[in-house]
Every structure is written in C-alpha cells, then in structure tokens.
Amino acid sequence: MGLHLPPTAALLLTIGCIVFLFRRDIREKANVTRALWLPVIWLLLIGSRSPVQWLALAGFMKGRSMEEGNPLDAAVYLALIIWGIYVLNRRQVQLSEVIRNNTWLTIFLLYCFIAIFWSDFPLIAFKRWIKIFGHPVMALIVLTEPDPYQAIVTLMKRSAYVLVPISILFIKYYPELGRGFDDWTGAAMNNGITTNKNGLGWICMVLGFFLSWHLLQVLRTEKSRVRRSELILTGGLLCMIWWLLQKAHSATSTICLLSGLSIVLLLGLRFINRRLIGLYVILFITTLIVAELTLGAFGHVANLTGHEATIAGRGELWNELLAFRTNPIFGTGFESFWLGDRLKILWAEHWWHPTEAHNGYLETYLNLGFIGLFLLAGVLVAAFRKIRFDILTNFQFGRLGLGFLAAVVAFNWTEASFKGLSVIWFAFYIIAIDYPIPAVFEMDELSEPYLETEEAEPAYSRMI
C-alpha cells in the first residue's frame, strides 16, 4: 500500500478498479439471481455510512439527533425490506416453516417487538425494530438462492469490491473522510469508509473471515486458469483487508477473526471427531473460564495487544451502566437505554459520548432485561445446534458457521453487535437461520438468473 498518487488520480484508479471487479463478477455468470443485489446493497449501507451520511458528505443535507432519526434513512431501509419480502413471497418462502425451524430466533424477535411497548420512546424503538427485521429478510434471500453457498461468497466479494478499496482511498488520500479521533484516547484513528475505527474493524472481520473460508475452498479445487485467477483475486482482497485491520488498530476484531479462522482450520484436521463437537466446545469454554478465574487470561491478552487502557475504560463504563436503575427483568425497552435522560447523564460525565455498552450481553440486559439475555442465549445455543448438524451433513458450511459463531460470541465481550444495523449481526443471521432450500421457486424479472452464453467461462460455483 506504499503507492503515492495525487488524490484525483487515486480516485480515478479506485473507480476503475471497482468497475473492473464488477465486470469480472458479471462475466463469471455465477449461479445467483439478480435478487442478490438487495443483500449486497444492504451490506454496503450498514457496512459503511447511512444514506443521509453519504449525502451529508456531499453537502446536500445534515443528519438529525439520535432521538429523531432521519426519514430518508428510514425510507431507504424500509424500501429494501419491502422489496426483500416481495422476493421471498415470489420464491414461496413459507413463514410457518421459517418459524418452525427457527423457534428461538422467532421468540427473540417477537420479544424485542413486545419490548417496544414499555420503552420511553416507543416510536423510535419501533423504527429500530423495523430496521433489524431487515437482517433475517436479507439473510433468507441469500439462503434461498439456487446455490446458497455461492450466494454467500458472491455477497461478500461484491461488498468487498466497494468497502475495501474505498476505505484504503479515504485513509490514504482523503483523510478528512477516512480518519478521525479515537473516542477513548483522543488519538488519531483510521475509519475508512465507516464512521469510526471499530466499524472498520467490523467489516474487516466479517469480510476477512468469509473470504478466508472461500480461499480454503478454492485451494481444494484442481489447478486451472479459473482457479489461479480466483486465488489472485481473493488473496489480493485479503491482503488489503489485513492492511486495513492494521490501520484500524481494532484488537477485538483482529483477535476474533484469527480465533474464528483457527477453529475453521482445526476442524479440518483428521484427528478431530466431528461427532464430538459439542464436547469440544464444552471443554473449550470450561478452559477459558478456568484460565480467566485463575490467571486473568483476558487481561493478559489485553496487555499483549496494547489495549489494557481501553479495556479498563470499558470496565469502568460497565460499572456505571449497571448502577443505573433499570428494570432487571424486562429492561428499558428495545434499544431504548441510550436515549433521553440516561444519554444526557452519560454524555455529561464522559467527553467521548458513549452510545453503547461495549459489551453485547450487557447491552442486551440494559435494553431487554434478564428475559432478553436468556432468549439471546437460546438463540446462540440454537445456532450452535444447527451448525453442529451442518458439520455432520455439510462439513464445509458447518465449519464456516462454527468458526464465525465462536468469533461473534467472543467479539461481544468488548463490543456490542447484537443490535441495530451491525454487519456482524447480519452475518450471524446468515449462518444461524435454518431454512430448507426449495428445489424450485417461481422467478420474476428480479429473481431471474443471469443467462449463460456459449462464450462465457464456466461459473466458478461449479468448482466448489
């Protein structure tokens, strides 16, 4: 990344690179439909900046406060969700089957909806619930593609074509857009296409994990020109993602990414008995608990990564949040804790203006109480059971799911991603939702697959 160009030349080069990558993507004729562009757009928006923030950068409008929200953002997300529901309806996705196969997730989402009614800001909570409803809708579009595994890879690649090079462009050539100041220390930070360094770490973690898994699948195929081209493309994207991770200085994202990939690699070892995955997980969790209680393992990891100060700051924040008088059973209402007087009090005490608990489990407790925390645990356990079955029936997808689930569970110890328009929360739905893929579904113009031509190269998906 040591190339130095005038900003305008770098911008034109980046645009040319993105156009080239998408032209290559179209020429591949992958076994996906046009409907996949909806999840791609969804991931691009939640992985970068909201529509209003993009327009604000262009000088067209300004955003509103956290309480007020913004009608344009709401309209864009709602339009994508409605369009997504239309696609699922055309594909004859049965809601009853979704509910039956995903009981814990359904109950959790239903409880989140009910929790709107005891929020101090029910209208805002309702708007936020509508937005998170987009996660399962978009995930189901991916999982009901003709080849869901190719759809996942294509989703991540298309998103990376935009998020990764533009992040590099902003950091290197447009610092007013790609850099800022750290909330905890006040030091300069790199945020790329996102609004903060943690957001940049999040997209690097998700894209890096899925593309690394894809690289492993490519390496298992026979040598060919198509394989070599795919290795170069995926390897290049991963190098850029790793560079961005270093610039983001997001220790949590880096550690969780490497931990998840380690699990993926370990599951590929011959001596691992796939039928004992549950036992392995129990032993691993027990080891972590014992190591933390006896050795303070988490603190040692923080010291090694140079983030002991931020971890200590998070600990102080957690104590303050627990001191607030909230309903321990039901919480303050769906995504309602960081609103109103509570937000004013916390912002008056902290110059860096926190907007989350930096712990996904504590965040869930504050908003949804012990009931919400219990249901979240049920969702995670249900996801594990589904993944364990995948490991026995579809090993490659199963180990993808287990590695990412482990990364998500660990990630939420120091960050909060079980909420809102988080790219990690969206990716979790992709690996957690259990829905049998229908053999045939009705196509419309949006869902019509790309037509093959005699001159086109064979679809790469046929090699996996």
Report residue 430 as tokens.
Answer: 């992709």
Helices 122-143, 423-432: axis angle to 10 degrees equals: 50
Report residue 433 as tokens.
Answer: 């939702």
Q: How many CA atoms lie within 13 A of 180 on its CB side?
A: 18
Tens of pLDDT, residues 93-108: 999 999 999 999 999 9
Q: How far apart are CA 324 and CA 365, in angstroms?
A: 12
Secondary structure letter of residue 448 according to DSSP: P
Q: What is the pLDDT of residue 442?
A: 40
Q: How far apart are CA 54 and CA 400, in angstroms?
A: 33
Q: In terms of Cα–Cα distance, which of 169, 160, 170 is closest to 204? A: 160
* Integer angstrom CA distances of residue 76 from 194, 255, 440: 18, 34, 30
Name 59's Cβ contacts closer than 8 Å, sequence gap at least 6.
none
* Integer angstrom CA distances of residue 192 from 174, 200, 363, 427, 442: 9, 6, 26, 20, 40
Q: Is 37 a residue whose pLDDT tops 50?
A: yes
**What is the pLDDT of the chain when averaged over all its residues?**
86
Q: Is 302 a residue whose pLDDT tops 90?
A: no
Strand ranges in 121-171 using DSSP code E only, listed in sequence order: none
CA 420 to mean position of chain CA atoms: 11
Q: Which of 144-148, 239-243, 286-290, 293-297 ranks highest by mean pLDDT?
A: 239-243
148-157, 175-184, 211-220: least confidently modelled range? 175-184
Burial 52-86 (b: 16+ CB within 10 A, else e): bbebeeeeeeebeeeeebbeebbebbeebbebbbe
Tens of pLDDT, residues 179-206: 887 655 566 789 999 988 889 999 999 9
Report residue 73 as tokens.
Answer: 């953002």
Which phi and psi (to 5°) does residue 10 adopt?
A: -65, -40
Q: How far apart are CA 360 and CA 335, in angstroms?
A: 12
Evaluate whether 420 touches 131 at the Cβ level (below 8 Å): yes
Evaluate whether 250 touches 197 at the Cβ level (below 8 Å): yes
Strand ranges in 155-290 using DSSP code E only, listed in sequence order: 179-181, 188-190
Confidence (pTM): 0.88
Burial class from Cβ neighbours inside 10 Å (0-12, 13-18, 19+) for residue 273 reads exposed
Q: What is the pLDDT of residue 412?
A: 93
Q: Is 435 a residue whose pLDDT tops 90?
A: no
Q: Is 451 a residue whose pLDDT tops 50?
A: no
* Integer angstrom CA distances of residue 352 from 39, 143, 298, 358: 33, 40, 24, 13
